[in-house]
């Protein structure tokens, strides 16, 4: 279909556009007409005459504050509407059946569609039938990805309204298998930004190539540590894409405000380097100063392009890189890692929600975390921070709080008396306590009698919560909390933990279960529904809270506030089933309340820049949430 450029103000007036803009001559240059139908899309833009004629926005200014043309009309009709995933109201070009009779007439769609008009609800039901007909989760993931490329609104509608069923499909564990095959399944449609080591010095120009200007949330990965699969290089880009899909589906952050980014620093995966289908740079992973200089250039360019309040979500990076990046930027940027702070905050929420069952406050628990990774230390640090906050009024300190948390690795309890105490990594030193070093998890539990036992021993040898460990917990405490969080092979199965403790264990792991068949029945007839420590409870709401408040930093107070908001949503009905986290079915309400808590904490701590503070923060949050329903075009 040929494009006809609008050349005169009279043509603008005929389309109803001329009266809306003060700079009509400039506007005429940016409005294209396809045949003569019109679709309106509200989109803020900046131009040379809108801020002093410089042609460039002030450095580090927030784009939302820049003067500019109030609105630009995107003029589309006919087949081009159906080909555009933003405006399409159907799954395929021949099935855009949600357009009304009036819209079909006015937008030149008559004859291009079958006569039936189907609602979005009917289309969603058809999509679910197609999804459920697929033989495996990878096929389902591929179908959903195609749907997202064809029809954004329907994709997010289906995902948000069936989140319990589709979360394991659109995110972990399925997305990790999708990433393994990404070279074979690559699609040409740009769904993320790729920055390689050879782009050093021109990152800002790459960000300008991204078609959306008002980005508020970035999910950044370098693909070095994708779950238990390890280094997938640039093929890990599927993870930030799926994370940001959950930002939009769960928290209502508009998709055009989300930017997935993959830093291609190479890969140490020999299989990928030898594959002819690998789509990344074929060299070993770059580390050290060169790597950090590229990351620093990216952060600087992102703030310049999208404003100081852009949120950066670090994903699937090596812990040593995460630790350095978070330490370097947390004072000048709203940034976090879902793997580190997200998991820790959900664990904290579960412990807080279990208080009516354990009859203990957080500060009264003795906590043991088993595993070699830095993720366990991150959980310990947030728990210690939460313990210390109320006690500080009485003279308590973070050092006192840390004494209630013990770390255990494959060589036993981490103490100063261990033979390898001098060689311990820096991140465990705050939890290197005095006392004997018990050689394994059995001896540690027998001696220290923790009331909370958390396992995050991915890749560690010899750490399992065997029958003896579980029975010792149940002997020492009426209602012990047990959280095996390893993804590939949990430290203990839910069925065994309940049986070995006669149903007294309060259990949560990271296994996603079908809500219709998640109940576990013991030999004595007791029935439980274990909770899943799912970070999707929190990270979408944390992102939304930062965006609504325009927070320029993200502190531990925000994660504690988010955990408290999540714990408050757990009811006695949940606890009666053994659950310490709410159901995912109401994820949009959960995300709104988490976002409200994060935004309030941002205002309280002085890091919010969206002033004045709304009178009703929760109402402001809900009003900002993207709705997946079809719009009526005019």
Q: Rounded to the nearest 5 degrees, what angle is found at the Cα of 518, between the Cα atoms of 143 and 534? A: 65
- For residue 32, report the phi and psi dihedrals to the nearest 5 degrees: -110, 145
- Give the Cα separation of 98 and 116 in Å (integer): 9
| Look-up of token digits 């812990």 | 319
Burial of 184 (0-12, 13-18, 19+ CB in 10 A): exposed
Q: CB–CB of 617/584 below 8 Å?
A: no
Is residue 7 a known part of a binding site?
no
Q: CB–CB of 265/288 below 8 Å?
A: no
Between the alpha carbon of residue 116 and those of residues 58, 97, 99, 517, the distances in Å are 51, 6, 10, 38
Helix (H) or strand (E) holding 507: strand 506-509
492: three-class secondary structure by DSSP: coil
Pick from 146, 121, 143: which is nearest to 132 by CA? Answer: 143
Q: Judge if the upstream peptide bond of residue 116 is cis by omega within 30 degrees of 0.
A: no
405: three-class secondary structure by DSSP: strand
Integer Rg of the chain from CA: 26
Q: Rounded to the nearest 5 degrees, what angle is found at the Cα of 468, between the Cα atoms of 448 and 487? A: 85
**In sequence order, what DSSP letters do the residues of 213-241 get, joined into one string?**
S---EEEEE--S-BTTTB--GGGGGHHHH
Neighbours of 18 (CB within 10 A): 18
Two structure tokens written together for 414: 């981490």
Pick from 600, 586, 577, 419: which is nearest to 503 by CA? Answer: 577
Q: CB–CB of 111/621 below 8 Å?
A: no
Helix (H) or strand (E) holding 201: none
- Within its chain, how far is the Cα of 162 from the centroid? 17
- Give the Cα separation of 211 and 295 in Å (integer): 21
Is residue 555 a known part of a binding site?
no
Two structure tokens written together for 31: 């409005």
Q: CB–CB of 380/428 below 8 Å?
A: no
Is residue 293 a known part of a binding site?
no
314: three-class secondary structure by DSSP: strand
Is residue 632 a known part of a binding site?
no
**In sequence order, what DSSP letters do the residues of 68-130 get, joined into one string?**
--S-------THHHHH-TTT--SSSGGG-TTS-HHHHHHTT-TTTS-S----HHHHHHHHHHH
For the annotated binding site for (S)-malate, the residues are 225
For the annotated binding site, the residues are 225, 315-316, 339
For the annotated binding site for a divalent metal cation, the residues are 315-316, 339
């Amino acid at each position: 279909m040929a494009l006809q450029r609008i050349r005169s103000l009279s043509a603008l007036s005929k389309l109803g556009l001329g009266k809306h803009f003060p700079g009509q001559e400039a506007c005429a240059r940016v409005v294209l007409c396809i045949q003569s139908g019109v679709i309106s899309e509200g989109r803020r833009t900046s131009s040379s005459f809108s801020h002093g004629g410089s042609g460039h926005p002030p450095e580090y200014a927030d784009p939302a504050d820049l003067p500019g043309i109030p609105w630009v009309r995107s003029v589309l009709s006919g087949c081009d509407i159906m080909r555009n995933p933003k405006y399409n109201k159907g799954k395929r070009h021949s099935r855009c059946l949600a357009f009304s009779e009036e819209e079909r007439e006015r937008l030149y769609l008559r004859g291009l569609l079958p006569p039936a008009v189907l609602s979005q609800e009917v289309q969603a039901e058809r999509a679910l039938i197609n999804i459920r007909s697929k033989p495996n989760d990878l096929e389902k993931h591929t179908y959903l990805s195609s749907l997202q490329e064809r029809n954004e609104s329907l994709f997010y509608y289906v995902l948000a309204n069936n989140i319990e069923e589709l979360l394991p499909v659109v995110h972990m564990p399925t997305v990790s298998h999708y990433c393994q095959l990404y070279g074979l399944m690559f699609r040409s449609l740009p769904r993320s930004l790729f920055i390689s080591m050879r782009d050093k010095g021109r990152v800002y120009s790459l960000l300008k190539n991204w078609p959306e200007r008002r980005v508020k949330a970035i999910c950044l990965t370098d693909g070095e540590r994708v779950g238990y699969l390890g280094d997938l290089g640039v093929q890990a880009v599927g993870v930030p894409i799926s994370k940001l899909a959950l930002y939009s589906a769960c928290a209502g952050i508009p998709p055009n405000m989300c930017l997935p980014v993959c830093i291609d620093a190479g890969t140490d995966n020999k299989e990928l380097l030898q594959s002819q289908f690998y789509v990344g740079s074929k060299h070993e992973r770059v580390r050290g100063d060169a790597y950090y200089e590229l990351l620093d250039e990216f952060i600087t360019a992102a703030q310049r392009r999208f404003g100081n309040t852009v949120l950066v979500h670090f994903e699937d990076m090596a812990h040593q890189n995460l630790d350095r990046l978070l330490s370097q930027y947390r004072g000048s940027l709203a940034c976090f890692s879902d793997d580190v702070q997200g998991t820790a905050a959900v664990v904290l929420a579960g412990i807080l929600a279990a208080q009516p069952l354990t009859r203990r406050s957080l500060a009264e628990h003795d906590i043991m975390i088993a595993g070699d990774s830095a993720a366990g230390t991150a959980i310990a640090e947030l728990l210690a921070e939460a313990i210390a906050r109320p006690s500080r009024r009485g003279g308590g300190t973070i050092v006192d709080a840390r004494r209630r948390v013990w770390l255990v690795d494959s060589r036993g309890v981490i103490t100063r008396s261990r033979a390898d105490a001098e060689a311990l990594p820096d991140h465990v030193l705050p939890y290197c306590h005095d006392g004997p070093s018990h050689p394994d998890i059995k001896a540690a539990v027998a001696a220290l009698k923790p009331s909370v036992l958390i396992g995050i021993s991915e890749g560690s040898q010899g750490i399992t919560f065997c029958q003896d460990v579980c029975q010792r917990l149940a002997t020492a405490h009426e209602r012990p909390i047990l959280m095996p969080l390893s993804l590939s092979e949990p430290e203990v199965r839910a069925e065994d933990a309940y049986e070995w403790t006669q149903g007294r264990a309060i259990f949560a792991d990271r296994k996603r279960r079908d809500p219709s068949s998640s109940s576990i029945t013991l030999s004595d007839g007791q029935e439980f529904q274990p909770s899943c420590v799912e970070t999707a409870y929190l990270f979408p709401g944390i992102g939304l809270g930062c965006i609504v408040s325009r927070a320029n930093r993200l502190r531990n107070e925000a994660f504690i506030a988010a955990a408290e908001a999540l714990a408050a949503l757990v009811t006695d009905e949940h606890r009666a089933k053994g659950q310490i986290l709410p159901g995912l079915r109401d994820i949009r309400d959960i995300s709104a309340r988490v976002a409200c808590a994060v935004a309030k904490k941002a205002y309280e701590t002085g890091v919010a820049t969206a002033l004045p503070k709304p009178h009703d923060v929760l109402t402001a949050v809900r009003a900002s949430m993207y709705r997946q329903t079809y719009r009526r075009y005019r």
